Amino acid sequence: MINVLLPTLAEPQQFSMEEQLLFGTLAAVSLFGFWRRFGPILGNILQSKKDPKFHLFPIGRRVRDFVWEVMCQAKVIRERPLAGVAHALVFWAFCAFALVTLNHCATTFGLGFLDPAGRVGRFYFDFAALFAAACAMGISGLFVRRFVARPKWLGELSWESGLIALLIFALMVTYLAAFFVPGAGTAARALWWAHTVTLLLFLPLIPHTKHLHLVLSPFTVFLSREGFAQIPPLVGDEDFGLVAGTDLTRLVSLQAYSCVECGRCMEHCPANNTGKLLNPKEIVLGLRGYLNEYGPNSEEPLLGKYNAQEAAFECTTCGACEFQCPVGIEHVPIIVGLRRGAVNTGAWEDDHGFFLVLEKGSNAFGLSAAERDKFVEKNALPIFDGTQEYCLWLGCMGAYDPRGREIVVALVRVMRYLGASFGVLRKERCTGDPVRRLGNDLLFQQLAEANLEALKQNRVKKIVSICPHCVRTIQEDWKAYGTPPEVEHHSEFLARFARQLPPIQNQEKIVFHDPCYLGRYRGVYEEPRRVAALAGELVEAPRSHERSFCCGAGGGLVFLGEEKGERVSHVRAEELAATGASVVGTACPFCNTMFRDAFSAKGDGAPELMDIAQLAARGLPE
């Protein structure tokens, strides 16, 4: 019954020889045009060197990510809801149209498999029509957004985007119109040809524009690396990172060609938001430009015509770009790779002598280890002797920075109250986090190996650390050089025992700032909140959880001297203060120090700055 009421698609069923010939020729030209551009691109990708340690299996994660991010368009929608839904509709329409288009071409030669008069055919065409309508609406909305609203993330006005939008719209309209014309008339045939020509115009345009993502991005998402911000190992004696075209791997080349220029990475980049040269979108497009001009076998430096060294070294490795990318581009390994290429070959000038400090000393500040000893002694911290359960890792901040020390003292008070068995090592060396993010593989290897050996000798099994950078480096980055002990962040430890802590009298309004290396890097968002909630009512900053805005210290930048221009920490500090909270809760000693400097510059009226350990300790008896 319903079938009878719904309109039928008017599709010509018979084509003359001339028509078939015409179609064949046009199709051949179109396919040729497509391949002419796509062939070399595919070549560039396949000729790039293989990714070391790439494993297709376990395939479960890949399939899951593919279904969630590509088929369900989850990231596309979640991070930019309105535009995301519009895009999702267009995408789903394309998926639905696959069969329609196939059938469309097949009918030219009498090989159509969907009969517009049959039950299956009618159902399918009507089903597709719904999507066509949604798609037409979606693409119109996106057109208006790009050409009328003009958000700055989309960059300059792009005529090719306009043309593509028009073609998509035309495809949908020519399809939908065919429901309203008689089946066997000239109108139907005209619409059929209009649709065909639009289609055959669209096809070769795909590889020439960012719409190449139609073909590539499902692969890009499927083939992405094991984990977030994964830095690949160097292979062999001549591998120093991303120095020239020959260092680009297949995954990087694939990602470079997948960029849709949506600007979501740029929108969330702390460097880009404070007027620095760095723009993650441009980094990726720069690689694309390089590949187009020089190809993957060139010795031309990557940091040259298409990308600047200065930009690569403005990155805090916060990962917001990589997290946002809907097509699976992994910016962090690319930027760290470019840094490696510069640092491992000595092309980068270490103006602040930072590497020399760590070459010679035990900590990133260049302070005497005696200072740490004095702190440990003064606070009667137990020394780890292999019998305690936890090794409390102080890190550079916890051992030498006055604020970091306060956090350690608070945590120790809590641990003692809970009766946890713990100790601190007699000697610690920097985990190497800033060295790793800056791309100095020689120094990092030395630090990682020395540390792993020391931990083994001290029989350390479990580490608790106040610093998400230490946690990340120990757990992930040291893996390349040995087996690190178990490590957790103090928010995870405290959250486990939150219920055992005494209640806190003065409840405050607290805004928790998600550290990059705890949130995006480790996926820990709720545990620190559970702890902070002990001390008051939680409010959220406009950008929180996976969208948390970096404090500016990461990527080794805090050790490289003063930041130019507007400071990332000040921008975030303003945002946090604007929530009206009386306390800013942190879980990273770097965030803590950065905001302290920002708030002290602000003067009176700034919120109190407390690490979650300090908040948790508030209820303890004096």
Partner 1 sequence: MSVLLVLEESGGKIKRASWEALAAAQRLGPAESITAVVIGAQTAALAAEAAAKPLGKVVRLEHPLLAQYTADGFSLALEQLIGTEKPAYVVFPHTYQIRDYAPALACRMGQALIGDVVGIDDGPVFTRQLMQGRLIGSYRHAGSGPCFVSVQAGAFRPDANVAGPDLPADAGSAPITTFTPAIEPAQIRSKPGEPFRGSEQTVDLGSAQRIVSVGRGIKEAQNLPLVRELATALGAELAASRPICDNGWLPMERQVGSSGQTVAPRLYLAVGISGAIQHLVGMKGSQCIVAINKDPDAPIFEVADYGIVGDLFEVVPALTEAVKAAKQ
Partner 2 sequence: MKIVVAIKQVLERDAPVRIAPSGKWIDESDVQWAMNEPDAYALEEALLLKEQAGGEVIVVSAGPERVGSTIREALAKGADRAIHILCDDLNGRDALGAASLLAAAIKPENPDLVLTGLQSEDVGLGQTGVIVAELLGLPHATMILHVEKTDSGLKVKRELEEGWFQSIELPTPAVLTVQSGGNKLRYATLMGIKRAKTKELRTVSAAELGAEGAPSVVLEQIAAPKKQKSTQILSGSAKEAAAALVEKLKTEARVL
Listed in sequence order, the DSSP H helices in 307-440 are 309-312, 320-324, 331-343, 354-360, 369-378, 395-400, 402-418, 433-438
Where does this chain touch partner 2 (CB under 8 A) — which range of 354-362, 505-513, 551-559, 582-590? Answer: 354-362
**Contact call for residues 177 and 7 (beta carbons, < 8 A):** no
Rounded CA-CA distance 105/519 in Å is: 49
93 vs 443, which CB is nearer to partner 2? 443
Helices (H) and strands (E) in the chain, counts: 28, 8
Site for partner 2 contains 454 (CB under 8 A): no
Query: Which of these segments, 92-100, 345-353, 367-375, 503-511, binds partner 1 (CB under 8 A)?
Result: 367-375
- 383 scored as a contact of partner 2 (CB under 8 A): no
Q: Which does 537 bind (CB under 5 to 8 A by kind): partner 1, partner 2, none?
A: none
- Find the shortest distance in angstroms from Cβ 369 to partner 2: 5
**Least separation in angstroms between CB 137 and partner 2:** 55
| Between 95 and 356, CB nearer to partner 2 | 356
Q: Does 338 bind partner 2 (CB under 8 A)?
A: no
Q: d(Cα 369, Cα 546) in Å, to the nearest integer?
A: 36
The single residue listed with the structure tokens 């309508």 is 133
How far apart, in whole angstroms, are the C-alpha atoms of residue 301 and residue 552?
28
Q: Of partner 1, partner 2, none, which one sits near residue 237, judging by CB under 5 to 8 A according to partner kind?
A: partner 2
* Residue where the block lists tokens 């490590």: 487
507 interacts with, out of partner 1, partner 2, none, CB within 5 to 8 A per kind: none
Tokens 């073909």 found at: 215
User: Which C-beta is closer to partner 2: that of 368 or that of 379?
Assistant: 368
Residue 18 binding partner per list partner 2, partner 1, none, with a CB distance cut-off of 5 to 8 Å that depends on partner kind: none
- Binding segment toward partner 1, per CB under 8 A, in 326-334, 368-376, 410-418, 602-610: 368-376
CA–CA gap between residue 262 and residue 153 (Å, rounded): 7
Considering Cα of 486, then 489, then 492, then 495, what sign does the dihedral take?
Answer: positive
Structure tokens at 237: 């004696």
Return the SS3 of 166.
helix
Residue 333 beta carbon to partner 2: minimum distance, rounded to whole angstroms: 17
| The one among 184, 442, 578, 601 contacting partner 2 by CB under 8 A | 442
C-beta of 477: minimal distance to partner 2 in Å?
15
CA-CA distance, 142 to 153, in Å (whole number)?
14
Residues 6+ apart with CB under 8 A from 219: 254
Count interface residues toward partner 1 (CB under 8 A): 3
Q: Which stretch binds partner 2 (CB under 8 A): 85-93, 232-240, 417-425, 543-551?
A: 232-240
Tell whether residue 242 is a contact of partner 2 (CB under 8 A).
no
Q: Please spell the DSSP secondary structure of 470-497, one letter per residue.
A: HHHHHHTGGGGGS-PPEEEEHHHHHHHH
Cβ–Cβ under 8 Å, residues 429 and 450 = yes
361 sits near partner 2 (criterion: CB under 8 A) = yes
Listed in order, strand segments (DSSP E) in 426-582 are: 462-465, 486-489, 508-512, 536-539
* Residue 353 interacting entry, from partner 2, partner 1, none, C-beta within 5 to 8 Å by type: partner 2
Backbone angles phi, psi at 26, to 5 degrees: -60, -45
Which does residue 442 bind out of partner 2, partner 1, none, counting CB within 5 to 8 angstroms by kind? Answer: partner 2
Q: By CB under 8 A, is residue 360 in contact with partner 2?
A: yes
Per CB under 8 A, 457 contacts partner 2 = no
Q: Kindly state the smallest distance separating residue 479's Cβ from partner 1, in Å.
A: 37
499 binds partner 2 (CB under 8 A): no
- CA distances 131 to 102, 124, 177, 432, Å, are 17, 11, 14, 52
Chain residues that interact with partner 2, rule: CB under 8 A: 234, 237-238, 240, 343-346, 349-351, 353, 355-356, 359-362, 368-370, 440-443
Chain residues that interact with partner 1, rule: CB under 8 A: 370-371, 374
